[in-house]
Amino acid sequence: MRKVVNTLLVTLSSMFLAVSLSASHHGADEKKPIEVVEAAYATFASGDTDAWAGLHTDDLRFTVFGQLPQSGVFVGTQSVIEGVFAKIPVLWPGFTLTPINTDVVGDTVYVHNRMEAEGLDSETMHMFVIEDGKIKSFTAFEDTDSMRQAMKGQ
């Protein structure tokens, strides 16, 4: 009986250790995926592109679907800053994103946002993939028809 109890204790200890290790697979100083994404939204909103860039991997893949001026696949943070961020305030003055709901599945974070600007009141879904505490990829699923209708001078 004692052997069965010892075997059971060893098995349970191994299970708890495995769960603990997988639950904390992020380094002690490494932010959780949701914290990285929250910081990305905060730095985007404040216009701090240097801090925003620091939250991403060097080979960031940033995808915006559609046929709008900022649509496409951008590789690297500077490409995003120039190809997407520089266009937003010109095309959609007063642009803001307000999170409605955030879901985290492993290292993927999904954020459902309210998207507002002059003449624009819509919703969007963003998907972030986090790797080693940084954003590796971003994909925007946006209401491009509403965005096109609200777009200012090109």
Residue 110 within any structural domain of the chain: yes
CA–CA dist 128, 6 (Å, integer): 44
Q: Can you name the residues that pair with 99 across neighbouring β-strands?
A: 113
Residue 94 within any structural domain of the chain: yes
pLDDT digits (tens, 9 = 90+) for 60-114: 999 999 999 999 999 999 999 999 999 999 999 999 999 999 999 999 999 999 9
Residue 2 within any structural domain of the chain: no
As for how many domains the chain has, the answer is 1
Question: Range of 132's domain?
Answer: 27-150
90, HSE (Cβ side, Cα atoms, 13 Å): 10
Residue 154 in this model has a pLDDT that exceeds 70: no
**33: CATH:** 3.10.450.50
Work out the pLDDT band at 153, boundaries 50, 70, 90.
Answer: confident
Residue 77 within any structural domain of the chain: yes
pTM, rounded to two decimals: 0.81
